[in-house]
Amino acid sequence: MATVTFSKATRQYPGNDKPAVDALDLSIEDGEFLVLVGPSGCGKSTSLRMLAGLEEVDAGRIYIGDKDVTDVTPKDRDIAMVFQNYALYPHMTVAQNMGFALKIAGTPKEEIAKRVQEAAEILDLVDYLERKPKALSGGQRQRVAMGRAIVRQPQVFLMDEPLSNLDAKLRVQTRTQIASLQRRLGITTVYVTHDQTEALTMGDRIAVLKDGLLQQVGTPRDMYDTPANRFVAGFIGSPAMNIGSWTIQGRRATFGDASVALPDSVLAGITPDDDGRVIVGFRPENLEPATEGSTSTIPVKVTLVEELGSDAYIYGKIVGSEREVEKFGSGDGSDQVVVRIPPNAVPAPDSVVTVQLKDHGGHFFSHSTGNALGR
């Protein structure tokens, strides 16, 4: 096992104006499960491939432990990859697939058999060792791919969206298995996904990328409670944070008929470049029915109620939003606000529900830079 360090690591593809990964500085601890997450094209898979040696590093360095592996061939980096498409040999049995890399490396047959058996027991594959991939389900094939990585006993696991080909229910089941397995083995793991729910539930820490740039690194709770900027705030969380630009009026921010008080720490961070505006964000679960004397009142006209049994969600628009030039809603570019409510308090469509921010339930960001205010 080992640490992993990206030191100003950069990859720029020929013909592109901007780097796919731009001066990435990231340190991953020994035995840590780190998730690289972001939208398509953000550079997460390129970062993983740079670590694996499958992409050139145009500037900067990459280290595994104390060893500079920037120019080391993939086979000499002591890493094992798990891919999205499993990459199993169809003519080989499960046992042969799992032990193939060891066979190529000249490992004695007895040692191969021992490692394959151990991995099969960990992954509950003992009964499938003599089957071929076509006789397995998608989840079982993914476990075989995991087993092939485990038997190599590498210093680092690299996983590139390994659950993308599974159905929703199996994906949930398998992600818990992978997270539990990693903690049991204690092997440093870098996991790439575009699914922020996977990132929140699996990782010890999360690194969010956008346009090749690292936006924030922290624990799932850090990302959720204290996003560093508008992008991280809108990307992490499901349903997405309600977020958009509001007008500053004295010590308050307004949007349509909604109004919230701005904390002193936020007001102190406002600059002339913000042009009298501030980005306001609040998660669906950070709202509650407004009370008399509330410091924030947000009237929402209900268009739809989604009942989920244990929870219910109101979908609607802030009253008076038609007077605003910019949109405000759940996710960038949306004008639909989402509010989580108890399932026994479902309002009727077209009614108006007035809610307020719970204590510490608001997030505020600079209109000019997008960076968090009041932190």
For 84-112, what is each residue's pLDDT tens digit?
887 889 999 999 999 998 998 899 999 99
CATH architecture classification, 241-366:
Beta Barrel (2.40)
Query: Which one, of 112, 103, 97, lies nearest residue 143 by Cα?
Result: 97
Q: Where in the chain is the domain with CATH 2.40.50.140?
A: 241-366
4-231 fold? Rossmann fold (3.40.50)
pLDDT at residue number 359: 81
Candidate ranges 137-151, 204-218, 360-374; pick with highest mean pLDDT: 204-218
Q: Where in the chain is the domain with CATH 3.40.50.300?
A: 4-231
Phi and psi at 280, nearest 5°, equal -110, 140
The band of 1, judged by pLDDT with boundaries at 50, 70 and 90, is low
Instruction: Compute CA distances 311 → 305, 345, 346, whole Å.
Output: 11, 10, 10
Burial of 296 (0-12, 13-18, 19+ CB in 10 A): buried
In this prediction, what percent of the chain has a pLDDT beyond 90? 71
Phi and psi at 202, nearest 5°, equal -105, -40
pLDDT at residue number 346: 86
pLDDT tens-digit map of 6-34: 999 999 999 999 999 999 999 999 999 99
Q: Is the pLDDT of residue 137 over 80?
A: yes
pLDDT tens-digit map of 278-318: 999 999 999 999 988 888 999 999 999 998 888 899 999 99
pTM confidence score: 0.89
Candidate ranges 173-187, 201-215, 333-347; pick with highest mean pLDDT: 201-215
pLDDT at residue number 185: 87
Spatial distance between the Cα atoms of 194 and 142, rounded to a whole number of angstroms: 18
157, 161, 162, 167: CA torsion to nearest 10: 160
Query: Which one, of 287, 269, 286, 290, lies nearest residue 278 by Cα?
Result: 269
Do 305 and 314 contact (CB within 8 A), yes or no?
yes
